[in-house]
Amino acid sequence: MTDKFSGRLDELTSEQRALLEARIKKKGLSLSQSADPREREPRHSANEYSSSGVGKRADLDRHIKFSLYFFSDDGSSSESGKYSLLLEGARFADRNGFSAVWTPERHFQRFGGLYPNPSVLGAALAVTTERVGIRAGSVALPLHHPLRVAEEWSVVDNLSGGRVAVSFASGWHPDDFIFAPEIYEKRKDVMFDYIDRIQRLWAGEEVMFEGINGSAMPLLSLPRPIQAALPIWITTAGSAATWAKAGEIGANILCALVGYSYDDLAEHIGVYRKAREHNGHNPSTGQVTVMVHTYIGDDPDAVKAMVREPMYRYLRSYFQQFTGVVHGGDIITEEDKMAIVARAFDSYYEDSLLIGTKRKCERVIDRLIEAGADELACLVDFGLDFDAVMQGLERLADLQDEYARPRRSVALAAPGTERE
């Protein structure tokens, strides 16, 4: 399959190849064959984000936070119990000291279709847990009225006793904008405008909104929340401008490891922390949360065999709308899509997925610490069955405990095979 696909790639013009690679990279995938991990260049830290040395973060014996992220690949089932893993996973996170549970917003697709409204699920999690943070990852803000967002999350904040936080995204899929079609082209500017309004509403201010016939109406948001300020993240898929804007407004960052090299991630974190510093925010206190697919097992061969098909299905779902990539016709066949997914899995397995033995995953975590990450959002519901996920969570909790203790600095090398 891959040899035939390589031949088709060779037939493309340089312009077609460049466009295809750009589109696939936006999906978090790669056309490149997986290199031998032992031959990869060592990455370099971009933690020295401040020329003055303020907030320098070069030590590797600091801890990193762990949270759970849910983004199931199939919302089309009519069976009951679809939220059992989410609810039991949240209770597990609550008992075992994880920092938060994240649920996304996703519409009209099997991929993520269990999660059309994170505030509704957040309310359920709020009353079944006691300590763990309840976070949206993310609210596609331009699809909603800012007053409604402030109201809903204030309810969840009250139900949880002040444990909510929200990562805001501008949205990307045109179908989602059936809710607000006139906003699509200006969605990023609208997102930041709405964030400002939500922060003011949360603080108890009256905010002006347009009413009937263009009249201006000053409105308050009720109920009043528990937290004085809503903790916010900005979700980004790679734009340096978004990282910089998040730093400018003092927000945290939510990103996914898939789609970044470690050098790219470190560079973007450096941009973010410089923007915080230059806009009067403490550069060290902004939190960078990195979402990474996660399953911890004991035997390397057994783990890779277990996760291969679920990860293939999960990655394959990225391509549901991936047609007409190159102007003039659809050059991506179903066979090609599976070849790309196979390449992506092999390429990312060693150093971009928190999947494997504890030793292998420690290398990934240490590289993320070196790059400047503060928290791992561990995506656990990518297709394994309930029992397997829960067993993996037990091992993940043990790994979290190790990173919660003081750890000596380590000499980092590029991730290698599990049988070194």
User: Residue 75: its pLDDT value, please?
Assistant: 56
279-300: burial string, b at 16+ Cβ within 10 Å, e else = eebebeebbbbbbbbbbbbeee
CATH classification code of 47-404: 3.20.20.30
User: Residue 413: its pLDDT value, please?
Assistant: 40
**What are the structure tokens assigned to 195, written together?**
């964030």
Q: Do the beta carbons of residue 27 and residue 322 sit within 8 Å?
A: yes
Work out the number of other CB atoms within 10 angstroms of the CB of residue 8.
Answer: 14
Residue 386: partners with Cβ closer than 8 Å, 6 or more residues away: 84, 85, 88
User: Residue 16: its pLDDT value, please?
Assistant: 57
User: Residue 332: its pLDDT value, please?
Assistant: 63
Nearest to 318 by CA among 263, 259, 389: 259
- The tens-digit pLDDT sequence of the chain (420 residues) is 445 555 555 555 565 556 566 655 555 555 554 444 333 333 344 445 443 333 444 445 558 999 999 987 565 565 778 899 999 999 999 999 999 999 999 877 766 678 999 999 999 999 999 999 999 999 999 999 999 999 999 999 999 999 999 999 998 778 888 899 899 899 999 999 999 999 999 999 999 999 888 889 999 999 999 999 999 999 998 899 999 999 999 999 999 998 789 999 999 999 999 999 999 999 999 999 999 999 999 999 999 999 999 888 877 765 554 444 334 445 567 777 777 778 778 888 888 899 999 999 999 999 999 999 999 999 999 889 999 999 999 999 999 999 987 655 444 444 444 443
Predicted TM-score (pTM) of this structure: 0.84
Domain regions of the chain by residue span: 47-404
